[in-house]
Amino acid sequence: MHKKVRYPFILFIISLLSIVGLAGCSDAGTNDAVKDTKNEAAGEPVTSGTLEVAIASDPDTIDWMYTGATVTRDVGWHIFETLFALDKDFATKPMIAEGFETNDEGTVYTIKLRDDVKFHNGSVVTADDVVASLERWRKVSAVGGIAGNYIEDVKVISDVELEIKLNEPYSSLLADMSAPKQALMIIPAEIAEEAGEQPLVPEQLIGTGPYQFEKWERGNEILLTRFDDYAAREETDWGGLTGEKIAYYEELKFLIVKDPQVRVNGLKTGLYDYAENISPDLYEVLESTPNIDLVTYMNGYSTVIFDKSEAPFDDLKVRQALNHALDKKTIAAATYGNEQFYSFDGALFVPEQTALYSDKGFDQYLAFDQEKAKSLLEASNYNGEPITIMYSNNSENYKKISQIAKQQLEEVGFQVKLDPYEWATYLERWQDPANWDLVVVGWSTRFSPNELGMLGLGTASSGWYDSEQWADSVARWGVVETEEQKKEVLTEMNQIVNDELPFLKVANETRLDIKSNKITYDSWLGQRHWNTWKNE
């Protein structure tokens, strides 16, 4: 017997699991003082030609399901869409799905699709496409892999209806399906089956989004064009990744511009309309610069990840020594400059994420003590061999964190080598533990413990983390039913990371982008260029 779950109940379920209650309606990050300072473009929406967007690095892939990289996400979600998605307030709402029902036990989900959604190749989305996409998601996505542990069977009921049967109640299912990292993007069944566990190649980049993939000149630009047959939802007040989406630009050009100063100068001179990832040091200067608007949003946090598969960081004492050696306050001040763009908190989620935040379990987060570091290092298995810190030189933040960490580590007895690479090479080398001992990387905002790639068991992303305690806590998270239970699990997760040190959190980040003041734009979580327009 099935019962229909009315839409308001979706909000209730997800609010218990992965919804973020931000302090303000815009994505102002971890400091309320940082806001979009101006948005001078106004008036009625207008259709225009090309939006030129300067991005800092060339994606390794545009397959939004395959990787959690921010640059992939920021391009990919213009092309692809998901069954369910986060709205502007980070609540889960339908996107390609029309709605769903569950049985009384919460072990069977029947999902109804909208009947007018088209792929960029002209075919209509069917349940077969969704099932094939879901099966691929379970194989290639860390989030899908966790959800897949609870999925017993998926079957087609009709062209517009499918059924997911679980082996036990799993209250995070809708949250996982709406995750904006390694997303359950819906693609044609034949492409999902052909691609399998490999990333999509350019000719396979076919989705349902308001823009369609046109071409990719690696190292130069990615071109998307308006999809004229896009089937928009009608909800104008949802925002985020769902609701009505209108493509006002004929083209989106994502231009790979690695030099941050070139991105700034290009926007000042009108060469670009939007430029991402600007140094917070420039905030006050740009705030008073004519014709430029500032765009700010919370952006997760910066981290140092250990390769725990081999010496020296397979030894907890060495990891503890490194934690005591790093003065994170000094690192953050030198990296971000403006205090409005960083804050200190050792939790896995930030305080604004009220449904996901616990303020307990991280007492060693700011445990800077050089003498303690020296003592731990002496008692460990570290033999004085140089350790390699790898980072992407496309990011000034990664570079600064790595340089200061090197200095501080050498002060307590570590020998350190810095190894920078451009983004694509950095990601490739990350997969082999022989290439690095520490990786410096930022993780953009996550909305569920299942999305925390730096804790994915047995993966390169986590430095080959292996923990029964963490696995048990993730399993408990999947079946929590009350706010109290949820807070208990979140505190336990913080404590596990505090005790086992699979990675070190440096600081919570607020990101700064800039745009032309001719652009009418609504800041959220990463750049989105639907429902925005340019007044010439």
How far lies 256's CA from each of 55, 71, 151, 263, 276, in Å? Answer: 5, 11, 40, 9, 11
Residue 348 and residue 300 in contact, taking contact as beta carbons nearer than 8 Å:
no
348 falls in which pLDDT band (50, 70, 90)? very high
Q: Which helix (H) or strand (E) holds 486?
A: helix 483-500
Helix (H, G, I), strand (E, B) or coil at 7: helix
Helix (H, G, I), strand (E, B) or coil at 528: coil
Q: Which residue has the tokens 């379970």?
A: 138
Answer whether residue 21 shows pLDDT above 50. no
Residue 40 has what pLDDT? Answer: 52
DSSP string, 263-295: HHHHHHTTS-SEE----GGGHHHHHTSTTEEEE
Answer whether residue 423 shows pLDDT above 70. yes
Structure token digits, residue 245 = 């989406």
CA distance linking residue 510 with residue 526, whole number of Å: 11
Residue 172 and residue 475 in contact, taking contact as beta carbons nearer than 8 Å:
no
Answer whether residue 463 shows pLDDT above 70. yes
Answer whether residue 16 shows pLDDT above 70. no
Q: What CATH number labels 298-511?
A: 3.10.105.10
Encode 373-391 in three state secondary structure.
HHHHHHHCCCCCCCEEEEE
| Partner residues linked to 509 by β-bridges | 342
Answer whether residue 37 shows pLDDT above 80. no
CA angle 374, 454, 430 (to 5 degrees): 85
Residue 39 has what pLDDT? Answer: 53
Residue 6 has what pLDDT? Answer: 34
Beta pairing, strands 503-516 & 438-443: unpaired
Q: Which residues contact 475 (CB under 8 A, 6 or more apart)?
A: none
CA angle 29, 97, 166 (to 5 degrees): 95
323 falls in which pLDDT band (50, 70, 90)? very high
| Closest of 299, 344, 328, 348 to residue 500, by C-alpha | 348
Provide, rounded to the nearest whole percent, the portion of the chain with pLDDT above 90. Answer: 81
CA 168 to the chain's CA centroid: 28
Structure token digits, residue 374 = 């020296």
399 φ, ψ (degrees, to nearest 5): -65, -45
* Per-residue pLDDT tens digits for 363-387: 999 999 999 999 999 999 999 999 9
Answer whether residue 160 shows pLDDT above 60. yes
Provide, rounded to the nearest whole percent, the portion of the chain with pLDDT above 70. Answer: 92
Answer whether residue 26 shows pLDDT above 70. no
* 196-219 b/e (C-beta count within 10 Å ≥ 16 → b): eeeebeeebbbbbbbbbbeebeee
Q: Which helix (H) or strand (E) holds 442?
A: strand 438-443
Tell me the average pLDDT of the chain. Answer: 90
Average pLDDT over residues 464-483: 92
* Per-residue pLDDT tens digits for 203-251: 999 999 999 999 999 999 999 999 999 999 999 999 999 999 999 999 9
Encode 92-151 in three state secondary structure.
EEECCEEEEEEECCCCEEEEEECCCCECCCCCECCHHHHHHHHHHHHHHCHHHHHHHCCE
38 C-beta neighbours (distance < 10 Å), count: 11
Residue 194 and residue 204 in contact, taking contact as beta carbons nearer than 8 Å:
yes
Average pLDDT over residues 94-110: 96
Q: Of residues 51 and 356, which shows the higher confidence score? A: 51
Average pLDDT over residues 66-88: 95
CA distance linking residue 184 with residue 426, whole number of Å: 25
Residue 69 has what pLDDT? Answer: 87
* Per-residue pLDDT tens digits for 118-130: 999 999 999 999 9
Structure token digits, residue 17 = 């699991």
428 falls in which pLDDT band (50, 70, 90)? very high
DSSP string, 375-437: HHHHHSS--SPPEEEEEETT-HHHHHHHHHHHHHHHHTT--EEEEEE-HHHHHHHHT-GGG-S
* Per-residue pLDDT tens digits for 165-199: 999 999 889 999 999 989 999 999 999 999 999 99
Q: Strand order of the sheet with strand 161-166?
A: 2-4, 97-103, 108-113, 161-166, 151-158
2 falls in which pLDDT band (50, 70, 90)? very low
From the number of C-beta atoms within 10 Å of its C-beta (0-12, 13-18, 19+), residue 155 rates as exposed
Q: Which residues contact 325 (CB under 8 A, 6 or more apart)?
A: 368, 370, 373, 408, 409, 411, 412, 414
DSSP state of 82: B
Q: Which helix (H) or strand (E) holds 492?
A: helix 483-500
Average pLDDT over residues 482-507: 96
Residue 529 and residue 245 in contact, taking contact as beta carbons nearer than 8 Å:
no
DSSP state of 454: G
Residue 42 has what pLDDT? Answer: 60
252 falls in which pLDDT band (50, 70, 90)? very high
Residue 41 has what pLDDT? Answer: 56
Torsion-angle region of 290 (φ positive above 0: left; ψ -120 to 50: alpha; else: beta): beta
Tally the residues of the chain.
Answer: 536
How far lies 222's CA from each of 11, 213, 253, 255, 401, in Å? Answer: 36, 8, 6, 7, 30
